[in-house]
Structure 1
Amino acid sequence: MVAHVLRLRLALLVGALNARPLVLLRRLAGFAVLALAVAAVCVALIRLDRVPDGEAATLTVVGSSLLVAGFFLIPLFSGVEDPLDPRRFVVTGEEPGRVAWSVALASPLGIPGLVVVAVAAAMIAAWTGHGSPAGLAVLAALLLVGTSVLAARCAMAVSAVALRDRRSPQLTGLMVTAAGVVAIPVAAFAFSLEWSGGLPSQLTEAAQVLAVTPFGAASAIAVRSGGELVASMLVAVGTLLALAALWQLLVRTLMTSTERVVPVGERRGLGWFAVMPGTPGGAIAARSIVYWFSDPRYLANVIVVPVASVLIVTPLLVVGVPLQTVALIPPPILALFLGWLVHNDLAYDSTGVWLHISAGVRGVADRLGRLVPIVLVGVPLLALAITASIWIHGRWAVLPALVGVCVSLFATGLGLSSISSVAAPYAVSRPGEGPFEQPQRTGGSTTQALVLLGAILLSAPALWWGWLSLAGDEDEAWTSFWSGVGVGAAVLVVGVAIGGALFERRTSRTMEFAETL
């Protein structure tokens, strides 16, 4: 099977030259430009023996991280056609596992695979030229090639499973937003670098961070030692194994599921319902998104919260607190209130909640579906706010701490809100009324305060270690990050589970409440 796929891969490469003269000329020109670019990169890598060891390590780690990120993001967002799509091997009767390994082993023979192989070979020369053991250099290169190839394979498979035949303005907007979440922080970091006779300190700090992430861990193996080497190796090997398992799962899904054929005359006017999965949670998410982007009551919250998070810290600037310190305060406030926004989401649904109850929707599906809109809104807002804050602050070493604090406040707020919106909903303005018209109600202030206070208390570990990193102990930044992500994820999962159970137990009370709105 492997030999058969290899022959197919070579035949595809040769077949690319069998085209009309103009098409062939364009392809040859593209190949020539790509070859020159790759050759220039390889020569630059080989000539790194003229720079100090630290600078060479920084450049190789950052460069390989960008390479791996490109192999994952470009196939995912470009929607390129996969010449070795596993679905094409269904007619052979082969097992999905054999197809997965055969396609993965043949992938380096393509143009992208040859590029990463050439770059990895040049990196071996660069690493050994700076004293790295040959064995570690070869291992790092193999892991880099394997990670890049499998990342591209998984990205193309995800695009085939989730994005094919679902192109829509809504999906395009999601893709643009996701690209912006990735590109804007990177661009802000690049513009903040100050080149003065050597590599900027921010670039060195970024390399140290990337060395323990799935993007840069493989290349970092050749330039680290001791405990740092072990950490990078564990991350690199774990990433490769995770991608291999994901690739196996995606191939099995592609080869065992039936592809939907859309009739020529079919109209696609379902909007978000065509983008979201065809599950109860997906339908609730699509309906909630429509409400969030069309109901003035929701839009007012989305507009007010970011503005308020900035205005709250204005008095600190007036009394003389340095701008570099004040800049770090708005993102946590924004994260806290974004997680809090859905603490009474069920009340805004009015009588529409009877659809969920009468259809017997599971409580977890209801809770998860209602969180999707705030996640779609909150993640880009927080990405922009965190990037702007760190840019103004000037110390990118505290970025993990700020991310950990914001993730903890946002996720714990969502988890507690998933419980409070079912356990203690209170009256709000009716559909069609102004967003600032509030009816007579009781109990709302207690619910609001409990969610806010609970999110702050649960995020105390991340806040404490974040404060220590800001005070000068930058090693605590990663402690704050992991504690924030861990606590936030745990509270979110538990909150959704408890909220789902309460939703199923309190159906009669929920209907009574909806009828009184």
Structure 2
Amino acid sequence: MVAHVLRLRLALLVGALNARPLVLLRRLAAFAVLALGVAAVCVALIRLDRVPDADAATLTVVGGSILVAGFFLVPLFSGADDPLDPRRFAVTGAEPRRVAWAVALASPLGVPGVVVIAIAAALVASWTDHGAPIGLSVLGAFLLVATSVLAARCAMAVSALALRDRRSPQLTGLMVTAAGVVVIPVAAFAFSLEWSGGLPTQLTEAAQVLAVTPFGAASAIAVRSGGGLVLSLLVAVGTLVALALLWRLLVHLTMATTERSVSLRERRGLGWFAVMPGVPGGAVAARSIVYWFSDPRHLANVIVVPIASVLIVTPLLVVGVPLPTVALIPPPILALFLGWLVHNDLAYDSTGVWLHISAGVRGVADRIGRLVPIVLIGVPLLALAITGSIWLHGRWAILPALVGVCVSLFATGLGLSSISSVAAPYAVSQPGEGPFEQPQRTGGSMAQAAVLFGALALTAPALWWGWLALSGDEDAAWTAFWSGVGVGATVLVLGVAIGGMLFERRTGRIMEFAETH
């Protein structure tokens, strides 16, 4: 099977030269430009023998991280046809497992694979010139190539499954937002660099952070030692194993999915319903997005929360607290209130919640679907806020701690809100009324306080480690990150599960609340 796929791959490469003269000329020109670019990168890597070892290590880790990120993001959003799409092997009756490994082994024979192999070879030469062991250099290069190839494979499979035939203004907006979440922080970091006779300290700190992430771990194996080497090696191998398992799963899904040609006319006018998956949770998410972006009551909250998070810290500047310290406060406040916003979401949708109950929608699907709009809004806002805060603060080594704190506050708030919106809904302004009109009510304060203080209490470990990182212990930054992500993910999953169970058990009371409020 592997030999057959390899022959097919070579035949496709040779077949690309069998084209009309004008098309062939354009392809050859593109290949020439690409070859010159890759050659320039390889020469630059080899010439790193003229710079100090620490600077060479920083540059190779950052460059390798950019390479892996590019192999994942470009295929995901490019929409290019995959010549080795696993669905093309479905007619042969081959097992998905065999197809997965055969396609993965044949992938390096393509132009992207040749590019990453050439860059990896140049990296090996650069690492060994600076005294890195040849064994670690070859291992790091192998993991870099394998990670890049599998990342591209998984990205193309996800694009084929989820994005093909779903092109719409909504999906385009999501792609632009996703790109902005990545590009804007990177641009802010680049503009913050201060070059003065050597590599900026921010770039060195960024390399240290990237060395223990799936993007830069493989590139850092040859330039680290001791505990750092072990950690980077574990992350790199774990990333490769995770990508291999994901690729195996995606091949099974793609070969079991029938591709149907869908005309634009069929999807015209469906909006978010055409973008979201065709499952109950996707339908709830699509309807929730529609009323979040059209209901003034929700729009007012989305506008007020970012402004309030900045105004709250203004008195600190007035009394003389340094700007670098104050700059770190707005993102956690923003994360806290964004997670809190949906603590009474069911009450805002009282006129339509009967649709979910009468249709027999599972509670978990309802809870997940209602969280999608605030996630689509909150993630870009937090990305911009965190980037701006770190840029003003000036120490990018604090970034993991701030991300961990914000993720914990946001996710725990969403998890607790998923419970409180079902367990203790209270009256709000009705559809069509002003966003700041509030009806007379006797309850609701306990639910608001429980979500706010509960999120703060659960985030206390991440806040403590973040404070230690701010005080100078840079190792505590990663402890804050992992504790924040772990606590936030756990509370979010438990909150959705408990909220879904309560939704199914309290359908009668929910309907009564919807009719009377």
The corresponding residue for 1:249 is: 249
Aligned twin of 1:516: 516
Q: Distance in 2 between matches of 1:309 and 1:330?
A: 5
Return the alpha-carbon distance in structure 1 between the equivalents of residues 103 and 317 of structure 2.
Answer: 59
The CA RMSD over aligned residues, in Å, is 0.9
2:383 aligned partner, one-letter code:
A
How does 1:332-351 map onto structure 2 within 5 Å?
332-351=332-351
Partner of 1:96: 96
Structure 1 residue matching 2:375: 3-state secondary structure: helix
Deviation at 1:218, TM superposition (A): 0.7
Q: How many residues align?
A: 517
Decide whether aligned partners of structure 1 residues 501 and 227 sit closer, same or farther in structure 2, where only a CA change above 3 A counts.
same
Shift of 1:264: 7.2
Per the alignment, residue 184 of structure 1 pairs with 184
TM-score normalised over the length of structure 2: 0.99
Shift of 1:266: 3.0
User: What does 1:348-367 correspond to in 2, within 5 Å?
Assistant: 348-367=348-367
CA deviation after TM superposition for structure 1 residue 80, in Å:
1.0
**Deviations for 1:205-264, whole angstroms, at most 9, x for unmatched residues?**
111111111111111111111111111111111111111111111111111111122257
Q: Cα deviation per residue 1:45-100 (whole Å; 9 max; x = unaligned)?
A: 11111111111111111000000000000000111110111111112111111111
Q: Deviations over 1:372-402 (max 9, x none)?
A: 0000000000000000000001010100110
- Alignment of 1:136 onto 2:110: no
State the match for 2:19 in structure 1: 19
Alignment of 1:315-464 (within 5 A): 315-464=315-464
Q: Distance in 1 between matches of 2:358 and 2:277?
A: 21
| Runs of 4+ in structure 1 over 6 Å off | none
Give the Cα separation in 2 of the matches to 1:266 and 1:274. 10
For 2:54, the equivalent position in structure 1 comes to 54
* Pairing of 1:212-223 with structure 2 (within 5 A): 212-223=212-223
- Does residue 72 in structure 1 map to residue 87 in structure 2? no
Q: Does 1:291 align with 2:283?
A: no
Give secondary structure in 1 for the equivalent of 2:102: helix
Which segment is superposed worse, 109-118 or 446-455?
Answer: 446-455
SS at match of 2:94: coil
Q: Does 1:259 align with 2:259?
A: yes
Deviations 1:327-383 (CA, angstroms, capped at 9, x unpaired): 111000000000000000000002311111111111111111100000000000000
Change (3 A) 1:264 1:78: closer
Alignment of 1:192-211 (within 5 A): 192-211=192-211
Cα distance change on mapping 1:440 and 1:68 into 2, 3 Å: same
SS at 1:303 equivalent? helix
TM-score (norm 1): 0.99
8 A Cα contact 2:347 2:421, kept in partner: yes
- Whether the 8 Å contact between 2:267 and 2:274 is mirrored in structure 1 is no
In structure 2, the residue corresponding to 1:76 is in which secondary structure? Answer: helix
Give ranges in structure 2 of 5+ residues lacking alignment.
Answer: none
User: Which residue of structure 2 aligns with residue 169 of structure 1?
Assistant: 169
How far apart in 2 are the matches of 1:262 and 1:114?
35
Query: For each residue in 1:14-34, what CA deviation from the matched residue of structure 2 results, as whole angstroms up to 9, or x when unmatched?
Result: 111111111111111111111
Q: Name stretches of at least 5 consecutive residues in structure 1 with no aligned partner.
A: none
Give the whole-Å Cα distance in 2 for the aligned partners of 1:172 and 1:219.
Answer: 33
Matches of 1:11 and 1:148, distance apart in 2: 23
Q: CA deviation at 1:265?
A: 5.2
> Counterparts of 1:120 and 1:470 in 2: how far apart (Å)?
36
Take 1:168 and 1:415, find their aligned partners in 2: how far apart are those partners?
31
Supply the distance in 2 between the matched residues of 1:407 and 1:93 (Cα, whole angstroms).
45
Tell me the distance in 2 between the aligned counterparts of 1:90 and 1:445. 57
The 5 Å alignment of 1:270-289 reads 270-289=270-289
Evaluate the alpha carbon distance shift between residue 502 and residue 204 of structure 1 in structure 2; reply closer, same or farther with a 3 A threshold.
same
